[in-house]
Amino acid sequence: MIFGFLSNLFSCNAAEKVDIPALVQNGALVIDVRTPAEFSGGAIQGAVNIPYDEIAARIGKVEADKNRPIIVYCRSGARSAAAKKSLEQAGYTQVINGGGFSKVRKLLGQ
């Protein structure tokens, strides 16, 4: 049971099944859920910084369309998994856990 929970928490399988560059090119919102200090040290071009523990309270000010694709990322994929869950609980329907910053940066050629 615990293994399944941890596997789901850290899983980035959704990111492996979607074309993140195409989503970004077509207007997906990219959210960096790391701390402001981490974000200021380097981020994906065009990403919005909303720390994962603030995302449920702040997402409505950034994106009202609950059907717009949203890609979340952090340092390793754990905080973005938590953010994905929060966004889905808030009714957002197309949330992708991109995983770690390095992975997303590489996918986007940054």
pLDDT in tens, 17-35: 789 999 999 999 999 999 9
Out of 31, 71, 74, 83, which one is annotated catalytic?
74
79, 34 contact by CB (below 8 A)? yes
pLDDT tens-digit readout, 50-77 = 999 999 999 999 999 999 999 999 999 9
Is 12 annotated in the active site?
Answer: no
Q: Output the pLDDT for position 18.
A: 85
Number of C-beta neighbours around residue 82 at 10 A: 17
- 95: containing domain: 2-107
Residues 38/34/25/28 CA torsion (nearest 10 deg): -150
45, 57 contact by CB (below 8 A)? no
**Residue 60: CATH number of its domain:** 3.40.250.10
Number of domains present in the structure of the chain: 1
